[in-house]
Copies of this chain bind each other. A is one copy, B any other.
């Protein structure tokens, strides 16, 4: 039986070109396509795509590490990555990690084993050393601020953004400011925590641990936040909420509990998701779909390391 090399020889093209035709890859001239098709027909060649990929050392698969599938933040990033992958005829291998380090290690191992061409890590829990170790094995793209490291990334400066939001609340007269965060252990969360501490210190504001609400991921977590705030003898006057979904939950529960917004409690969301627009929530716009698209482009482009900072705009509405 003819193999891919025979086809290439017969068609007068390279093995890579044959592989591209078999994968419906763009950028193959009509002439070459036709020649490959004729050769395939003559040989009655039945391609085994895995063997083809093996022979050219390319899988047209890009790995994507996300902690959760069921979260609008990662859903929007994934939407951007997936739409861009569609355009380039790549497929995505999804690693949902639930923030287990072992799962991140598995994704890196697949990159090392060349089962994927590149790996996009949307959020991680592993130490930097582990990423660093695998950088020599393949292309890794990060969605975090790694300036100074030799790795591609599309990122937001969370320290700067958090400081911008805190300054806005402070300028509106707030002194008792708290925040809600997805998880305290992530790289982005650590930047935010640092920004918060520096801000409190700069303006000589008291640090109150009870004003920091952890594990705020979904709309229903807003209810828990409001219940806790209600119990406080000296509650915060403003909350920076790192998810519009959670902010929407807080706003809804405040209405039920007769807490007036922004008079008694000011709320600032994050992302500018549709729910923020609909409920008139003041928020910081993060173009997640665009960020996802850029992450994918960085994963497949031949260029060197690139780092792209995404700037965040403050959208003034009714909740601050």
B50 touches A59 (CB 8 A): yes
CA distance A47 to B54 in the complex (A): 13
Does A249 lie at the interface of the complex (its beta carbon under 8 Å from any beta carbon of B)?
A: yes
Contact A95 to B91, CB < 8 A, known contacts A51-B54, A113-B49, A252-B278: yes
Does A146 lie at the interface of the complex (its beta carbon under 8 Å from any beta carbon of B)?
A: no
Does A285 lie at the interface of the complex (its beta carbon under 8 Å from any beta carbon of B)?
A: no
A113 touches which of B47, B64, B219 (Cβ 8 Å): B47
Interface 1/0 per residue, A247-275 and B, CB below 8 Å = 00100110000000000000000000011
B50 touches A115 (CB 8 A): yes
CA distance A51 to B52 in the complex (A): 11
8 Å CB interface, A101-132 against B: 103, 106, 110, 113-115
A93 touches which of B48, B50, B94 (Cβ 8 Å): B94
A105 to chain B, nearest CB (A): 10
B54 touches A83 (CB 8 A): no
Which of under 10, 10 to 19, 20 to 34, or 35 or more describes the interface residues of A? 35 or more
Say how many copies of this protein the assembly contains: 2
Does A216 lie at the interface of the complex (its beta carbon under 8 Å from any beta carbon of B)?
A: no
A114 touches B49 (CB 8 A): yes
- Most chain B CB within 10 A, of A49, A92, A113, is at A113
A123 to chain B, nearest CB (A): 15
B220 touches A277 (CB 8 A): yes
B86 touches A98 (CB 8 A): yes
Query: Which of A68-76, A136-144, A186-194, A235-243 lies at the interface with chain B?
Result: A68-76
Does A10 lie at the interface of the complex (its beta carbon under 8 Å from any beta carbon of B)?
A: no
CA distance A96 to B86 in the complex (A): 8
Does A33 lie at the interface of the complex (its beta carbon under 8 Å from any beta carbon of B)?
A: no
Q: Which residues of B contact A51 (CB under 8 A)?
A: 54
Does A53 lie at the interface of the complex (its beta carbon under 8 Å from any beta carbon of B)?
A: yes
Closest 9 CB pairs of A and B: A82-B96, A49-B113, A220-B274, A70-B79, A69-B78, A70-B75, A92-B94, A69-B79, A94-B94
Known contacts A54-B54, A92-B96; 16 additional CB pairs below 8 A are: A47-B113, A48-B114, A49-B110, A50-B115, A70-B72, A70-B78, A70-B289, A72-B75, A79-B96, A83-B96, A92-B93, A218-B274, A219-B278, A220-B278, A249-B278, A252-B279
